[in-house]
Structure 1
Amino acid sequence: MEQFYLKNVDKYHSLLAKLESTPKPRVSDGQHGPNMVVAARVRPVLQGDGFPTAVFPRSSQKNVADIHDLYNHPSGIPCLKSFNYQVDRLFGSESTTEEIYEDLAADLVQFAWDGGIATLFAYGQTGSGKTFTISRLEELVAETLMNGSMKGEREIHMTMIDLAGNSAFDLLTERAPISLLEDSSGVTRMLGAAEIQVHNTTEMMDLIERAASFRRTASTLKNNASSRSHAICRIRIHSPPTATDGTLYLIDLAGSEDARDTALHGADRMRETRDINISLSALKDCIRGKALVDSRHSGQGIPHIPFRRSALTRVLKHALDPEGTQPCKTAVLACVNPSLADVAPSKNTLRFAEMLRVLDTRHELQDSSPMNWPNHRVRLWIARNSAKPRIMPEVLAPRETGAQLFNLSDTEFNYRCRKCPGVRAEHAKALRLKFWQLFVES
């Protein structure tokens, strides 16, 4: 496939030039919740890469990325296929790690300083800049915690571990193996992991550099030193004598590989990749489950959070548990390689990021009684609460306000719903009861 791209570079550029200058906008029907942010960083093109850029942050919508792929059409004439993805914050190739820190991580540091649990994940394809970004963010965190700019006195304690499958190793004691055991309250403890108190920036940076030297890496098609494990930097912020300790996690997730890379390796690498994918899938489900709870109406129940599916999510249970008593904030930074040769993994990375986004629409739908809703809000509620088969908002409420929809007779409500394909009387009745229940609760 790379040879196809290289052979048709001129064709690719000519097709890009013919694209519309103002692509159709992506519509977002809500904002991200207060405790969860999904961001993406497009890595700069490296010298000698040899492939054109295929990932473009959209100028008209600063949180949308367009990906343009060159498709090898069976007719023999290459054509362009375009995709777009939306995140909460998008950092282009010109953005510095310092800017990412100020926009994404600084708030997490303050949150942990004040006694919360703050977590930042870096996710993406191997060679997309995850470790580079996290390493610099760790340095900036060290400077912030130790330069005296934070109010109050705190003790800073650091733990750094490496997770490879279900095995865990201490990066501060030359990869000594440690055990992950649950205590009586269900929290996973890292038995045997060193926790070292630091007193200044130099001490903190020395620990970060020591841990980096013991990180597990391996050669892949895209990166001679790809991270083949999850590196977790835990910073515990103790506020004596009685305040709750804050915790900041900076997590460099294992680099992902595509099929052409794993095919070049043996059974051990295939098992390793399978373990990485399982842990990333479990992490996605846990993060999204937590965000859903934070962004949905109270009293709607808590979805299943699969903490036990991987060692990574077991370690982070208290940071992702919807039933936890300590406040939590999470940020995910998806790192993307902009090269045309890496379009497939770049799409997978941004698709993963999009799946983590949970929009908070509580204020939009709860700031007044449904009796006072205008038509567009009635339609929005119908679209979100109509199970399959779908009851179309434009058929049930073509112009009705909330009050007018309440005034529809059972017969008329049922008739309109059943005009939608596959909808039966029981579906119409269930939606009407849900609408009335919303009024009662308001």
Structure 2
Amino acid sequence: MASLKVAVRVRPFNQRENELGAKLIVQMDGKKTRLLKPKVAGLLNGGANLPGTGSGLEPWNDFTFDHSYWSVDESDGHFTPQERVFEDLGTEIVDCAFQGYNACVFAYGQTGSGKTFTMMGTAEAQGLIPRICRSLFGRMKLGQEEGVGYKTQCSYLEIYNERVKDLLGPSSAGHGLRVREHRTLGPYVENLSQHPVSDYGEIQNCMVQGNNQRTTASTNMNDTSSRSHAIFTITFVQARYLDDMPSETVSKIHLVDLAGSERANATGATGQRLKEGAHINKSLVTLGSVISALAEQTNPTHNKRILYIPYRDSILTWLLKDSLGGNSKTIMIAAISPADVNYSET
């Protein structure tokens, strides 16, 4: 797979959007996502024809991604369920990890756009993270039958207001862990607990324990808005003999659930919520800057000058440094709302 893939997924209308009488502004066809401008969406919903060229009103913007996932209406034949997202994206991440690459999957979007559903899912409709973990151990079982040895461990951390907390450590520990950088191993969190896991059940228990420790709060946009970034990391070592010599391959998979980008006037944020939003938005802007710089660096038309990659401008990008650049494969899922009331965020 390419070093970076981007997918976009549009969720169903939520209760708030239905109460506001919001109009549909998203259309998808294959890899293409079309975003209607709100005035045009109003005309279409009113039964009018689209304005012609030269009318002074450009009707839409078109974008092309590696994947465009329509998840608005389950009765629609083009509806994309959780299984399809995993088949397209999750299986590639597992394949790359077994080939020795570091891998990273994250969902990006405004508060309430469906990021956590895509990444974590529900008991009935599991998301990418649990499906990737289940697939990982399924592949390991097959490898063990062929004589390959595996050692697997996981960690789970939260970044809240640019401070790091161990979600699998004592709840009293707080957000006081320090980020450091090893000369050869790269960035790491000092004293972050690592938990050996031998099957999917054990890794699922770690996920449940960590999710219960996450920082959430109610905003105008989302009753259970994630107020922190969470990084679930699986490190596994493959041990085998090659030409009668022992060989080890170490891979890391970072599975990231980002806090939502937001506008303070839309979320009704004040006080602590406003401070949280400022830190969230700063780290997301930095993430965008890092990805843009990496994309420019890999562009064939790039003039080969050395670009500054601002990894250290936020804790999030610093910790993800080994999975955003170098020996890594990254998938970004842009989660969007279908509604005209969220046009500027989309």
Same fold (TM over 0.5): yes
Instruction: Note if 1:319 corresponds to 2:323.
Output: yes
1:72 Cα shift? 12
Cα deviation digits, residues 287-316 of structure 1 (max 9, x gap): 222233233369813311001100011111
Shift of residue 47, structure 1, vs aligned partner: 5.9
- Partner of residue 251, structure 1: 256
Residue 186 of structure 1 deviates from its aligned partner by 7.7
- Which residue in 1 is equivalent to 2:221? 222
**Contact 1:119–1:330 (CA under 8 A) maintained in structure 2:** yes
Q: Are residue 95 (structure 1) and residue 100 (structure 2) matched? A: no
Aligned to 2:311: 307
**For residues 186 and 58 of structure 1, what CA distance do their matches in structure 2 show?**
42
Q: How does 1:282-431 map to 2 (within 5 A)?
A: 282-296=286-300, 300-321=304-325, 324=326, 327-346=327-346
2:13 alignment partner, SS class: coil
Task: Tell me the residue number matched to 1:85.
Answer: 63
In the alignment, does 2:158 pair up with 1:162?
yes
1:343-398 CA distance string (max 9 Å, x none)? 2222xxxxxxxxxxxxxxxxxxxxxxxxxxxxxxxxxxxxxxxxxxxxxxxxxxxx
Structure 2, unaligned runs of 5 or more:
52-56, 72-78, 121-126, 240-245
Report which of the two has the higher share of strand.
2
Tell me the residue number matched to 2:199.
Answer: 200
Q: Any residues of structure 2 matched to 1:1-20 within 5 Å, and which?
A: none
AA of the residue aligned to 1:40: V
How many Å separate the matches in 1 of 2:32 and 2:38?
A: 20
- Contact 2:104/2:255 (8 A) holds in 1: yes
Deviation at 1:172, TM superposition (A): 0.8
One-letter amino acid of the structure 2 residue matched with residue 334 of structure 1: A
Identity of aligned residues (%): 30
Contact 1:54 1:68 in 2 (8 A): no
Aligned length: 305
Kept in 1, the 8 Å contact 2:10–2:336? The answer is: yes
Q: Give the aligned partner of residue 110 of structure 2.
A: 125
Question: Which AA in structure 1 matches 2:160?
Answer: A
Over alpha carbons, which structure has the higher Rg?
Answer: 1
Q: Could you say which residue in structure 1 is the equivalent of 2:9?
A: 41
SS of the aligned residue for 2:61 comes to strand
Q: TM-score, normalised by structure 2?
A: 0.80
Identify if the C-alpha distance between structure 1 residues 207 and 186 changes in structure 2 by more than 3 Å, giving closer, same or farther.
Answer: closer
RMSD: 2.7
Asked if structure 1 preserves the Cα contact closer than 8 Å seen for 2:104 and 2:330, the reply is: yes
Query: Shift of residue 257 of structure 1?
Result: 1.7
Partner of 1:62 in structure 2? 31
8 Å Cα contact 1:121-1:250 kept in structure 2: yes
Larger RCO: 1 or 2 (CA < 8 Å, sep 6+): 2
Q: Secondary structure at the match of 2:94?
A: helix
Q: Is the 8 A contact 2:227 2:260 kept in 1?
A: yes
Task: Tell me the CA shift for residue 39 of structure 1.
Answer: 0.7
Is 1:181–1:191's contact at 8 Å kept on the other side of the alignment? yes
Contact 1:308 1:314 in 2 (8 A): yes
Q: Distance in 2 between matches of 1:258 and 1:34?
A: 33
Shift of residue 38, structure 1, vs aligned partner: 0.9
Residue 137 in 1 paired to residue 128 in 2? Answer: yes
Q: Does 1:231 align with 2:230?
A: yes
Distance in 2 (alpha carbons) for counterparts of 1:102 and 1:55: 27
Unaligned stretches of 5+ residues in structure 1: 1-32, 347-442
Q: What is the distance in 2 between the residues matched to 1:288 and 1:298?
A: 12
Change (3 A) 1:166 1:261: same
Matching residue of 1:377? none
CA distance in 2, matches of 1:97, 1:133: 7
